[in-house]
Chains A and B, each alone.
Chain A
Amino acid sequence: MPGLEDLYREIILDHYRNPRNEGTFPTPPAIKAEGHNPLCGDELTVFLILDGDVIKDIHITGQGCSISRSSASLMSVAVKGKSLKEVDHLLKIFKSMMSISTNASGEPEAVEPIEYSERELGELIALQGVVKFPVRIKCATLSWNTLVQALEDRAS
C-alpha cells in the first residue's frame, strides 16, 4: 500500500493550510464557474480576470478536502499571469499526470501519453502521488475542471 507521505507532501499541506489566491471577484469583470464533486460534497468556485488571452488574476473559494483545496491553490499559482495557450498546455500535462491505467498485475500506474518535463509542472508535481490513490484523483482535478468550465462558459 502506498504511504501517506506519497499523498500528503509538505507542499500540499502548506497549500492546504495557507491557500493562495483565496477569495472572490465581482462578476463582471470576472468570469466564474462552480465545480462539485458529488462523491464527497466538495465545492469550489473559480473566478478569473482575463486580459485578452492572459489570466491576469484568479481567486478561488470553496470547501473540500486537503487534496482538492491544495490542488486549487497550486493551480491558482500555476496559471496566474499565463496565457490561455500556456494554461491549456499545463492542463494537458496535469491531466496526463493524473490519469491512470492498470499494469499487468492490476495495480494502478501513471500513463504519460504526452511528453513533458517535470520542470514544466513546477510545484504541481507535488500532486503526483495522488494517482496512487485513485479515489482521490477527482479531488485533485476538480479545480482544473472548474477552470476549464469557466473558460468554456465564456466562449459560448
Chain B
Amino acid sequence: MERMNTPTTATPLNVTEIRKDFPIFTHQNGKALYFLDSAASSQKPLSVLQAMDNYYSTTHANVHRGVYQIAEHATELYEGARVKIGRFIGAPNPARETIFTKNATESINLLSTCLTRGRLKKGDVVVLTEMEHHANLVPWLIAKEQFGIELRYIKVDSEGYLALDNIDEILSGAKVLSVTLASNVLGTLPPVAHLAELAHKHGAIVIGDGAQFVPHMVTDVTDLGLDFLAFTGHKMLGPTGIGVLWGKSELLEALPPFMGGGDMITDVTLDGFTPNELPWKFEAGTPPIAEAIGLGAAVDYLQDLGMQNIREHEIKLLSYAFERLESNFGKNIVIHGPRNIQDRGGVISFDFRDIHPHDISQILDQSGVCVRAGHHCAKPLMRHLGIAATARASFHIYNEPADVDALVDALGKAQAFFG
C-alpha cells in the first residue's frame, strides 16, 4: 500500500461534492444544518450505510463458524475490514494486531483490565495527563481503586500545552504512559512521538488515545512510537458500536484475555481453556460484523480523500474560524487551547461573554447550528481551566466556511439576546 503521508502539496477537498455523499444534509426538509459537532460523533456517508446494508441484505451469517458460502463471505468481509483499518493506521501486522471493540472507551478498558491482570503489579505507576477524556481516566482510576496502581499526571500549562519541564521525573519508574493524541476540549496535539521515546527510555509502554486524531490525520503507529492505540469508529464516518484497539503483537500475546466466551478460545475443557490466536483472543462472542464492515467503508472514503488533504482542510477552517470569531467578538470570546493552528486539531472550545454554554447552544440551535455545550467528559481538565462548561465547535470533511459564518451570525444573535 502507498504510504498516506507522502503528498506534500494538498488537494483541496471539494466540499460541495462531499456533502452530496452525506444523506443527513439532504434530509432536513429544506432547513439548514450547520453541523459543528463531529468531535462528538461524525456524520456518515452513503457508502458506509450501503456497505452495512449490502452485507445484511446479501451475505449475513455469523463469522468464523459456518462452512457455507455466505458465512465464508461474511468472514472475508469482516477480516478484510480489519486488515484495511489496520493498514490505515500503519499497523505492521494488521491482520493480527487490529482488535475490534465497541468503542475507544472499551479499547482502553480492555487495556487497563488486561494490564492489571497480566503485566502490572500493585504500586506500579501509570502516567496520564490532565487533559484526558474520562475514557482514558476512569478505567485507570478503577484500576487504582481495585488493584492499587499509582497514577501520576502530566500537567497542562496556561496555553493548553502539556507542561513537560519535569517530564523525566514524572516518567521515572513508570510502567505505562497513556496519553491522548488530540484533546477533545483544547484541540492540543501533544508531542506523542517525543513522549513515547522518553517513556520507552524509562521502560514504560505507551498507549495513545486516538479518538480525536485518527479521524482527521495521517496516523502511523510506528512513527508515533506507540505500543497501543485506541480509537472509535463513529467519529471517523463509521457507525456506532465499533472501536479498535491496535497493539504490538508481542505485547498483545503476553496479555491475558479480556472477556471470555465463544471465538476467543481454541480449546475448552471443564477445567480450563486455551486462548485463541491474535486478534480473536480479545474478541469474545459474536462481533459487530456489519459495523466493522461499515468502518472499513469509512476508511475507504477517508483514504480516497487523503488524510493529509483532510488535515489541510481543517487547518484552513480553523484559521478562518479564529479570524472571524476574533474579529467579530474581540475580547468577548475566549478560545481555549494553543494559539498556533498547526498545534491543534479541528476543535474550538470557547467562552462567549458570560453567556452559559447551554444557553449559547440553545440559541445556536435556533439557527440550525449544532455545537456541543458541557464539560466534554473531561471534568478534571475543566476544573483546571476553572470553568464548568464550554461551548465547542468542531470540524470534519463536510464543513465549509459557510458553517463558520453561520456560527458567527448565531453568536451575534446570542449576544443581542442576552445583551
- Chain A residue with the shortest CB-CB distance to B373: A40
A65 touching B366, Cβ below 8 Å: no
B362 touching A7, Cβ below 8 Å: yes
User: B287 within 8 Å of A by Cβ?
Assistant: no
B417 touching A65, Cβ below 8 Å: no
Note all chain A residues with C-beta closer than 8 A to B363.
Answer: 4
A66 touching B359, Cβ below 8 Å: yes
A136 touching B362, Cβ below 8 Å: yes
User: A1 within 8 Å of B by Cβ?
Assistant: yes
User: B167 within 8 Å of A by Cβ?
Assistant: no
Number of B positions contacting A (CB below 8 A): 17
User: B202 within 8 Å of A by Cβ?
Assistant: no
Note all chain A residues with C-beta closer than 8 A to B366.
Answer: 1, 3-4
Q: Roughly how many angstroms separate A3 CA and B374 CA in the complex, as a whole number?
A: 22
B-contacting residues, A63-79, CB 8 Å: 63-67, 69
B374 touching A41, Cβ below 8 Å: yes
- Chain B residue with the shortest CB-CB distance to A2: B366
User: B164 within 8 Å of A by Cβ?
Assistant: no
- Chain B residue with the shortest CB-CB distance to A42: B388
Note all chain B residues with C-beta closer than 8 A to A69.
Answer: 356
Number of A positions contacting B (CB below 8 A): 20
Q: Roughly how many angstroms separate A7 CA and B373 CA in the complex, as a whole number?
A: 17
Q: Roughly how many angstroms separate A67 CA and B355 CA in the complex, as a whole number?
A: 12
User: B382 within 8 Å of A by Cβ?
Assistant: yes
B-contacting residues, A86-113, CB 8 Å: none
Note all chain A residues with C-beta closer than 8 A to B362.
Answer: 4, 7, 133, 136
B375 touching A65, Cβ below 8 Å: no
Note all chain B residues with C-beta closer than 8 A to A43.
Answer: 388
Note all chain B residues with C-beta closer than 8 A to A3.
Answer: 366
A40 touching B359, Cβ below 8 Å: no
Nearest-neighbour CB distance to chain A for B175, whole angstroms, equals 32
Q: Which residues of B are at the interface with A, using a C-beta cutoff of 8 A?
A: 355-359, 362-363, 366, 373-375, 379, 382, 388-389, 417-418
Can you list 7 A-B pairs, Cβ within 8 angstroms, ordered by A?
A4-B363, A40-B375, A41-B375, A41-B388, A41-B389, A42-B358, A66-B356
Q: Which residues of A are at the interface with B, using a C-beta cutoff of 8 A?
A: 1, 3-4, 7-8, 13, 39-43, 63-67, 69, 133, 136, 139
Beyond A39-B374, A64-B388, A67-B358: 10 further Cβ-contacts under 8 Å? A1-B366, A4-B366, A41-B379, A41-B382, A65-B357, A66-B355, A66-B359, A136-B358, A136-B362, A139-B358
